[in-house]
């Protein structure tokens, strides 16, 4: 693929494009040391030194007990960083998102539109795109140095996919008590976290159908929403997942951070999840290729938005921009 980067905001930095097909996530960390240091500093500022140390210890214990296939990789990342927190941050995806999958109105294939929101400052300006490879072939991972999972990626000629979080399950009148109950339930689970399942999908699945079956049927450590777009216009769906059940919505479709097909009482995450879903439903099919992010309006775009992505695997097209609370944080990155 040829790379082109456009600069509608000329003063903004370019998103690094890292070839990690040989060195994997370690290569991402070693080739983007400034971004890695900034992400770790953001984690320390958000969680505090004590939580980074204790949470890191508990996170690694959970991964080791479950014989997580990516633990050795995360251990290597921790060695590169040389300070506690890597295992915790690899298990701390408290983000919110707005995503859609539908036939691409600008050309062949299905198109994935995606924003990721997270209050951690610095994630928008320190995003990278990593070229990675697995048994099924190469893919482009929109990620951060020090992270071993996949939250948003595009495999040219295969599929694109993204992960959203469902609401926090509601068990009691207390939000904090519910948080504790949900983490206790997670501690008892032995299945893969959603970010690691999505990594496995990109590493091992050769087709949209293969990815669909794996995302629908594989047991999970916690609930998740997966959005999947293939190389045909009709290959688009959202898979709403509990730990053991799946509800599938065929495309054209959108998702934010509340259940549409599944029935799981919960507390909405992020800013105005119903409003973000409704806006995505109305703008999904009109976003133009010439102005790729003209669909970014409040509440889809808000002060916690850190990432916007457009992916079309049939056209091998990936467009990415990082955001911070005060607006765009990077130039627009493009692969076509």
What is the C-alpha to C-alpha distance for residues 183 and 62, in angstroms, rounded to an integer? 12
The whole-number pLDDT of residue 305 equals: 97
Average pLDDT (311-324) is 97
What is the C-alpha to C-alpha distance for residues 229 and 164, in angstroms, rounded to an integer? 14
pLDDT tens track for 185-229: 666 777 899 999 999 999 999 999 999 999 999 999 989 999 999
What does the mean pLDDT of the chain come to? 90
Asked whether 138 and 132 are in contact (CB, 8 A), the reply is yes
Task: List the chain domain ranges.
Answer: 3-23+95-282+297-335
pLDDT tens track for 85-124: 999 999 887 788 999 999 999 899 999 999 999 988 999 9
CATH code of 3-23+95-282+297-335, in short, is 3.60.60.10
The whole-number pLDDT of residue 172 equals: 62
pLDDT tens track for 146-168: 999 999 999 999 999 999 998 86
Q: Is beta strand 96-103 parallel, antiparallel or unpaired with respect to 317-324?
A: unpaired
Asked whether 309 and 114 are in contact (CB, 8 A), the reply is yes
The whole-number pLDDT of residue 4 equals: 36
Instruction: Provide the pLDDT confidence category of residue 3 given band limits of 50, 70 and 90.
Output: very low
What is the C-alpha to C-alpha distance for residues 254 and 284, in angstroms, rounded to an integer? 8
pLDDT tens track for 242-281: 999 999 999 999 999 999 987 776 767 789 999 999 999 9
């Amino acid at each position: 693929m040829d790379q082109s980067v456009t600069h509608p905001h000329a003063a903004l930095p370019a998103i690094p494009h890292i070839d990690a097909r040989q060195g994997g996530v370690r290569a991402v960390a070693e080739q983007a040391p400034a971004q890695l240091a900034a992400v770790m500093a953001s984690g320390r500022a958000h969680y505090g030194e004590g939580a980074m140390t204790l949470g890191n210890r508990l996170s690694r214990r959970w991964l080791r007990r479950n014989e997580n296939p990516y633990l050795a990789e995360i251990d290597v990342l921790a060695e590169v960083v040389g300070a506690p927190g890597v295992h915790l941050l690899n298990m701390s995806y408290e983000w919110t998102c707005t995503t859609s999958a539908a036939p691409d109105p600008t050309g062949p294939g299905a198109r994935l539109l995606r924003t990721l929101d997270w209050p951690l400052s610095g994630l928008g300006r320190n995003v990278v795109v990593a070229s990675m490879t697995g048994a099924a072939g190469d893919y482009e991972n929109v990620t951060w140095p020090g992270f071993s999972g996949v939250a948003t990626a595009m495999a040219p000629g295969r599929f694109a996919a993204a992960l959203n979080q469902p609401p926090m399950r509601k068990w009691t009148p207390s939000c904090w008590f519910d948080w504790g109950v949900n983490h206790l339930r997670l501690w008892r689970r032995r299945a893969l976290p959603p970010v690691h399942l999505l990594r496995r999908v990109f590493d091992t699945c050769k087709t949209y159908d293969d990815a669909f079956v794996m995302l629908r049927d594989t047991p999970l450590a916690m609930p998740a929403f997966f959005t999947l777009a293939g190389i045909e216009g009709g290959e688009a769906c959202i898979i709403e997942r509990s730990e053991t059940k799946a509800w599938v919505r065929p495309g054209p479709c959108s998702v934010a951070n509340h259940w549409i097909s599944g029935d799981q009482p919960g507390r909405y995450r992020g800013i105005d999840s119903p409003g973000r879903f409704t806006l995505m439903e109305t703008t999904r099919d009109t976003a133009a290729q010439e102005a790729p992010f003209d669909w970014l309006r409040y509440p889809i775009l808000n002060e916690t938005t850190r990432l916007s992505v457009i992916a079309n695997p049939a056209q091998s097209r990936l467009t990415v921009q990082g955001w911070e609370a005060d607006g765009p944080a990077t130039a627009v990155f493009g692969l076509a």
